[in-house]
Structures are given as C-alpha cells and as structure tokens.
Chain A
Amino acid sequence: MLVSSGLGACVEAPTEPLDDPGASSVVAFEAPDLAAGSLRRRAQEVTVRIRSLGCDQLGLGSGFVLPGGVVVTNRHVLVQPLTVTVNSWDGRSLAADVSGVAIDSDLAILRLESSEGLEVAELRSAPIEAGETIHAIGYPDGGPVTISSGMVLGVVDGSLLGEPADVIRIDATIRPGNSGGPLLDDDGRVVGVVFALETERGTGLAVPVATLLERLDEAELEAPAGC
C-alpha cells in the first residue's frame, strides 16, 4: 500500500483511454444539393392545381393541402363555382367541395372527397420578417408547377388591398395562376398564401398564415356566389 502510494507519486498507470484521432477527423455529412432537392420535392407535393368550372367561365389557380383533406386557395379562383377539381403534381384529379370563401379576405377553403396519398403542408406559426428567403409554388398560366424564389420585402397594411390585416410583399416572380399557391420558407413551411401581383411594382402579395388560421374557422366563411 505504502509502495503503491509511492509509485503513484512517481508515474501513474494509464487510466483514461486516448482520443481516437481517426474518429475526431470524421467530418459531418453534408449534401446541400440533395437537401435542396428534397425541399423542392416536398414543395411541389403539397401544392395542387385548382380548376373551377363556373357558370360561364373556367378558373385556374393553385392551392395547397392541409390535414383532413382541406385545400386552401384564393376566393377569386372560385368564381361562381359549379365543379371544382384538384390536380396533384403527379397527375391525380380529385373532386372537391367548396367549404366556403372568406368574407373579408381573398381565401377559400375546399374539402377533398379523398386525400389519400397526398402530402400535407406544415404551417409556420412564427411571423415572417423582411429579408427572409421565401419560395412561391404554383401553376402559373395553368402550366406545370414552378418554384419561384425571392425574399420578403416587407409586411404592409392590407386595408388598401382588400385584406383585413397585414399582407406580405415579396419580390419572387408571381404570374396569373400562382393565385392560391403557398409561400414557403427555407424549411418548407407555409408562411403565406399568394393572392395578387402588383403590376406597377412587379412585386407579389401574400396573405399571412395568421389570417388564414383565423379564416379556417367556418364561422368566418360564407357560401360562394351562385350563377
């Protein structure tokens, strides 16, 4: 015992294992191109094409799917709707009923008869801020799905634009047919619903998710106008 104590003071026996230099030099796996591809894929999967046959006209626009077979689009896409069809990115055609259109906002809620196999969008609760990167997904001009990236220019008063609350102004390219499509952040979460293009400025406008969440309540909806 005494000898061991004395030895301990001289040179200690090894107790802790040395770090493995091989393990510490392993770098984290990163593939930004694959991650971006995954984001694009998810963005196009949650975005749908809306065809609304009205009394005497055909309305085309975009929308996105929420849990429970709910589809969000713009009120102005559904003009006196008689028959509404939702086209998914992979070619499925699904019949939809109009749950209602927002009384005071350019929003409309559809309900799919069957939403099996459709990806649903995730809504972002945190408010969007100027300078954030966004992606507008939609079917402009009734064509194939497109992704247009840009950034938030600001959040502006929506009262002059017929909206009850603030709206998001973006510099991403918006064209007719983008209406009702989702505005996504870099994580693929919905931050707004595209509804208009300011032709003079060349900027797009979107209804924030906060307004959408309030209008999802059926009490805030009314039946669309008939023929």
Chain B
Amino acid sequence: MNDPEGPGSTPGAFEPRGSEVRHVRRWPWVLAGLIAVALALAGGAVAYEQRGVAAEWRERSETLQAQRDAGIERERLLIDQREQLTRLVRRSEDDVVGLEDRLRALADEKAQAEDTATTVQVERDVFSEVTGRIVAATDALDSCVERLFELQTASVDAFNRSTAGEPVDVAPLNATAAQVTASCNEARNAAANAGAAADRLLAP
C-alpha cells in the first residue's frame, strides 16, 4: 500500500483520505457558485442600469430633436423677420436718402441765394461808393466850371480895361487862375476815382 500522508507524517494525526478530498473539492464549487451568483446579480444590475441609460439617451435624443426642430423653426422665423426688417430698413434708407437729397438741394439753393445776396450787398456797397464819388466829382467839376466862369469874367474885364488904357493888376487874375487850376485838378482826380470805382464794379 502507498503511504497516503507521505514521508514524515505523524501516525496519531491520521485522517481518512476520502473526507479530505471531499472537503477540498467542494470549496471551489461553492466559490464558483458565489461568483456566478454575484455576476448574475451584477449583470442584472448592469442590464437594469443600461436600460436606464438607454432611456436617458432616448429621452435626450427626443429632447434634442425637439430643440433642433424648434431651433430650425425659430431660425426660419428670425430669417424671415430679418429679411422683412432689411426690406423696411432699405425702404426707410431710400426715403431718408431721398429726403436728404431734397434737403441738400434746398441747402444748396439757400447757400447760392446767400452768395448772391452777399454779392449783391458788395455790389450795392460798390455802387454806393461809385455814386458818392461821382457826386463828389460832379461837385468838383461844378466848382471848377464856376471858377472858370469867374476867371473868364475877370479876364474879359481886365482885357476891356487894358484896351481902354486903364492900368490892370494881373496879380489877382493870376491868383484866381491858380485857384481855378487847383479846383479843376481836384475835379479831375475825383472823376478818376469815380472811374476806378466803376471799373472795379464792372470787373469780373
């Protein structure tokens, strides 16, 4: 017979071989059973949880689909509104541009009228100046002519007296002639000034 305990075993600690084998072989089966039960439970739990996750995904998908549809609809409405607003803005812009054009044209007319008024005012001032100078020239010429007549009268008188053999003092006559010359020179200057003013008025 073979020694079941092998070398060195104690005779007093002997146990039958059959019972030990049974004890050793049952333990893995129990463990396997427990693991199987645990796996079954875990699998069930996983399946249960996955069903929940799937439901969440489905719900989310439906929600997002609804959001997407609503978003697309909202976008379509917004685009419509934007196009309407753009049309309105363009129409308003056209109106504004038309009114601005009109306003600009009126402003231009007003500015031109002011230019004309300013020019007319300048011309009126120049006319007034020319008129004043012509009046001054006329007065000076009148004075010149009057003095010429006086000189002529004095000259004729002196000539007659000289012819009659009376003594004639020519000094007053010369003085009057000098005054007449000065007066007529003044008149000539005044006429020249009036002419220059008139030329400036007529200048482009």
Do chains A and B stick together as partners?
yes
Would B64 and A18 count as touching, CB distance under 8 A? yes
Would B46 and A6 count as touching, CB distance under 8 A? yes
B18-26, B29-37, B85-93, B184-192: which lies at the interface: B85-93
The reply to whether the CB of B132 lies closer than 8 angstroms to some CB of chain A is no
Q: How large is the interface on B (under 10, 10 to 19, 20 to 34, 35 or more residues)?
A: 35 or more
- Which residues of B from 65 to 111 have beta carbons under 8 Å from A? 67-68, 71-75, 78-79, 82, 86, 89-90, 93, 97, 100, 103-108, 110-111
Determine the residue in chain A with the shortest Cβ distance to B109: A91
Looking at the assembled complex, report how far the CB atom of B128 sits from the nearest CB atom of chain A, in whole angstroms: 14
A93 and B78 CA atoms in complex are apart in Å by 46
Residues in B with CB closer than 8 Å to A21 are 68, 71-72
Residues in B with CB closer than 8 Å to A22 are 68, 71-75
The reply to whether the CB of B157 lies closer than 8 angstroms to some CB of chain A is no
Looking at the assembled complex, report how far the CB atom of A50 sits from the nearest CB atom of chain B, in whole angstroms: 10
A144 and B111 CA atoms in complex are apart in Å by 9
A85 and B117 CA atoms in complex are apart in Å by 13
Majority secondary structure, B binding face: helix
The reply to whether the CB of B56 lies closer than 8 angstroms to some CB of chain A is yes
Would B115 and A41 count as touching, CB distance under 8 A? no
The reply to whether the CB of B114 lies closer than 8 angstroms to some CB of chain A is yes
A10 and B93 CA atoms in complex are apart in Å by 61
A37 and B57 CA atoms in complex are apart in Å by 52
The reply to whether the CB of B45 lies closer than 8 angstroms to some CB of chain A is yes
With A17-B64, A87-B107 in contact, is A6–B42 under 8 Å at CB? yes
Across the interface, A3 reaches (CB within 8 A) one of B49, B93, B122, namely: B49
Would B97 and A37 count as touching, CB distance under 8 A? yes
Determine the residue in chain A with the shortest Cβ distance to B44: A3
Residues in B with CB closer than 8 Å to A144 are 104-105, 107-108
Would A7 and B53 count as touching, CB distance under 8 A? yes
- Which residues of A from 33 to 77 have beta carbons under 8 Å from B? 33-34, 37, 41, 44, 49, 51, 53, 56, 58, 60
Binding site for B on A (CB under 8 A): 3-4, 6-7, 10-14, 17-18, 20-23, 25-26, 29, 31, 33-34, 37, 41, 44, 49, 51, 53, 56, 58, 60, 85, 87-91, 93, 139, 142-145
Q: 8 A-B contacts, Cβ less than 8 Å apart? A: A20-B71, A22-B75, A58-B115, A85-B114, A89-B103, A93-B114, A142-B111, A143-B108
Q: A4-B49, A51-B118 are in contact. List 9 more A-B contacts (CB 8 A).
A: A3-B49, A7-B49, A11-B57, A12-B53, A14-B57, A22-B74, A29-B82, A37-B93, A49-B111
